Amino acid sequence: MELIIGTFANVLILSSMYILVALGFALLFSIMGILHVAHGAVYTISGYICYHLAQAVGLNGWLSLALTVVVVSSFGLLLERLCFRPFFGEFDRSLVVGIGLILIIQTTMVITRGQESLSIPSFVDGFLRYGPISVSHERLVTFAIGAALLLVLVWFINNTKPGLQMRAIAQDFRGAIMQGININWISAIATVIACGSAAVAGCLMGAYLNLNPFMGDHVLSKALILVILGGMGSMTGLFYAGLVLGALDATLPVFFSGSVAEVIAMSVIIVVLLLRPTGFLGREIT
């Protein structure tokens, strides 16, 4: 029973984090046409900054988290101005910039903190007990924050004016520009959202699991899978993909060994994409 609850909780948390990171990536691609491959690195460095603030500077956990988000989002604005805007719509050159950024960020982390795993001290302690079931507060809070943030983002994109403008740009760039939408402003907002959510995910995961300079790679590839499976330009598609992948991740290893499960998962994904190249709910890419 413990095991089932534990696995279930694990999958929920990991899925919500992956979706959070994937959302930022998808946002940047559909609005600015750039492949922000350094998104994983942003996620990673947030964890490290939070660790530094919490351990070295000794700030309170929540304050560290908040500060990290602010720092990373500001860094994101700089990124947008210097690295995204010059390569607007050019996915091959943005890829190169992204790799360059990844190299710089990862190397800096390896040099300053070394390659061993670190762990951010938990934000909350204690357990919740209900009869025979006990779940750590940490798990609950992590999931709660992740889910809450996702809901806020969904609300933002669907119900606010900037969100509407983002969707307009994603659907028809020229038309949106002609309507007078300020692309620079919207790009900036999108970048802040993307980097901010990656930062939150990075800090939470840094406490929940641990930190290493290359954790971003794994998260990025998961995010990539979600974006492709869910379909370009569809947030709901992303969610469905996240659920499907989470379910696969949870159930397959029960019946098969790790790598066989991966083979099955990949084959399923390929078949799905062959039958439906645009992903679950994506639009045709023009």
Partner 1 sequence: MKLKSPFTGNRGKMIKPGACAGLLIILIACPLFIKSPYLFHIFNLTLIYIIVAVSFRTIMTSGQLPLSHAGFMGVGAYASATAAKWLGWTPWITIPFGALVAMGVGVIMGYPFARLRAVYYAMISLFFGMLIISSVKAFDTWTGGAAGLTGIPTLFGYSKIPYYYFFLLLTSVCLLALYRLEFSRTGVTWKAIAQSHEVAASVGINEARYRILASAIGCLFAGLAGATYAHYNGVIGTTSFGLMATILLLIYVIVGGAGSFFGPIIGVVLLMTIPELLRGLREYVPYISAAILLIVVYIMPKGVAGLANSLLSWFTELRKNRRTSNAS
Instruction: Please answer whether residues 225 and 241 qualify as being in contact, where contact means their C-beta atoms are separated by less than 8 angstroms.
Output: yes
Interacting residue with partner 1 among 224, 226, 235, 238 (CB under 8 A): 224
Q: Is 217 in the site for partner 1 (CB under 8 A)?
A: yes
Q: Is 109 in the site for partner 1 (CB under 8 A)?
A: no
Q: Which stretch binds partner 1 (CB under 8 A): 60-68, 120-128, 221-229, 243-251?
A: 221-229
Tell me the C-alpha to C-alpha distance, in Å, between residue 79 and each of 35, 197, 236.
13, 15, 27
Pick the closer one to partner 1 by CB: 107 or 160: 107
Interacting residue with partner 1 among 97, 215, 238, 241 (CB under 8 A): 97
Tell me the C-alpha to C-alpha distance, in Å, between residue 40 and each of 61, 212, 237.
22, 12, 21
Q: Is 266 in the site for partner 1 (CB under 8 A)?
A: yes
Q: Is 274 in the site for partner 1 (CB under 8 A)?
A: yes
Q: Is 277 in the site for partner 1 (CB under 8 A)?
A: yes
Distance CA 34, CA 233 (A): 13
Interacting residue with partner 1 among 85, 93, 167, 283 (CB under 8 A): 93
Q: Is 49 in the site for partner 1 (CB under 8 A)?
A: no
Q: Is 126 in the site for partner 1 (CB under 8 A)?
A: no
Pick the closer one to partner 1 by CB: 121 or 277: 277
Q: What is the CA radius of gyration of the chain?
A: 19
Distance CA 265, CA 250 (A): 11
Distance CA 273, CA 267 (A): 10
DSSP element (H, E) containing 45: helix 39-51
Distance CA 214, CA 116 (A): 11
Beta partners for residue 129, in sequence order:
134
Query: Which residues contact partner 1 by CB under 8 A?
Result: 33, 37, 86-87, 91-93, 95-97, 99-101, 103-104, 106-107, 110-111, 217, 221, 224-225, 228, 257, 259-260, 262-263, 265-267, 269-270, 273-274, 277-278, 285-286
